[in-house]
Amino acid sequence: MLSFMPAWLKIGVNLFLLIVCTAMVSFAICIVACVRILFFGNCHKFFIKAANRCMRWWLYRIRGIMGITNRTEWVRNIAIHPEFQDSYILISNHISWLDTLVLAAVLADLRPVPKFFLKHSLLFVPFVGLACWGLDMPFLRRYSRAYLLKHPDKRFTDIETSREACKKFSGVPTMMVIFPEGTRFTPEKRALSNSPYKNLMQTKPTTIAIAIESLGNQFNKILDVTLNYPDNPDTPFRSFLEGRLKKICISINEIKITDDLRGSYLTDKQFKRHFTLWLKNLWQEKDEKISEMKKNEKALCSSTDPDNIIKNKD
């Protein structure tokens, strides 16, 4: 729509719209959260639904904002069959800050609304932190291996946070979004971490395993997302702000959570090895898929209309 504008003006327009839209929704969710506190836990599901409706409004607005200054081609392969009452765990590779916006655009019509596992530092971002807290999104600290060696008492902090967050979603249709790599991919990070993959970081399976264990049969599917920005691989978020985001490749597959993926990751060593190997194999397939995306984009179906990515309106 406004793709004719110079890059510096596009940056201003996109930042303004993102900030205003996010601030408005965050403020509304904060009000809902504060009112919920006054009821001391009563009517919990009512206030969660109210906050979720605010979140869905944000998802739709993000979808619209992404098309204002960018003429982006969406190359997609989405093989899922969502149901209104289902709960999902969504896992995705992590490339850029743009990933969250892309997932928002793709999942806007999908029920239930996504809930992200976030870094603890985001709790202190104005408006956003309080809004995410109001949506019961868990904040994880992501301690380094060196820090945990010096402070072993912190080893299970994120695990307990994950468990408490999962308990809040008991009985409520939920989509929990997890980036198993724990950080955005860069060639430098990949080299430092000795990642065995060409396009991905190593995975951290604990959060996924704890989520499946904590909510049991409420989760019966995993949505496996593979993202790639073939024409803007280094700075996709900046390219989006400047109106230069040419192409988004996204693939989503369903994985049934079978009995062999349910168990105690912390106390059952045999299950821990099995689950870790399963996730490694899944990430190996994802790494190969990204390589294939880069070589042969025609392997995916193509669509230039982001408004028709997923339609599952109730």
pLDDT above 90 covers what percent of the chain? 41
Report pLDDT for 260. 92
In a domain, residue 131? The reply is: yes
Lowest-confidence region among 33-47, 234-248, 274-288, 289-303? 289-303
pLDDT above 70 covers what percent of the chain? 82
Task: Output 13 or 152, whichever has higher pLDDT.
Answer: 13
Instruction: Give me the mean pLDDT over the 74-99 stretch.
Output: 84
In a domain, residue 314? The reply is: no
Tens-digit pLDDT profile for residues 165-186: 666 777 777 888 999 998 899 9
pLDDT at 212 over 80: yes
- Calculate the average pLDDT of the chain: 82
CATH classification of the domain holding 36: 3.40.1130
Q: pLDDT band at residue 313, thresholds of 50, 70 and 90? A: very low
Question: How many domains, the chain?
Answer: 1
Tens-digit pLDDT profile for residues 228-253: 998 888 899 999 999 999 999 999 99
Instruction: Give me the mean pLDDT over the 49-60 stretch.
Output: 90
Of 9, 31, 186, the residue nearest 97 (C-alpha): 186
- For residue 73, the cross-strand partners are 247
pLDDT at 131 over 80: yes
**Cβ(196)–Cβ(63) under 8 Å?**
no
DSSP 202: P
In a domain, residue 313? The reply is: no
Report pLDDT for 209. 87
Type of residue found at 127:
F
In a domain, residue 175? The reply is: yes
Report pLDDT for 304. 44
In a domain, residue 1? The reply is: no
CA distance 306 to 314: 19
pLDDT at 298 over 80: no
Report pLDDT for 314. 34
**Cβ(69)–Cβ(3) under 8 Å?**
yes
Report pLDDT for 84. 59
Q: State both tokens at 2.
A: 């406004």
CA distance 278 to 288: 16
> Judging by beta carbons within 10 Å of its beta carbon (0-12, 13-18, 19+), is residue 88 exposed, middle or buried?
buried
Structural domain harbouring 163:
7-308
In a domain, residue 272? The reply is: yes
Q: pLDDT band at residue 42, thresholds of 50, 70 and 90? A: low
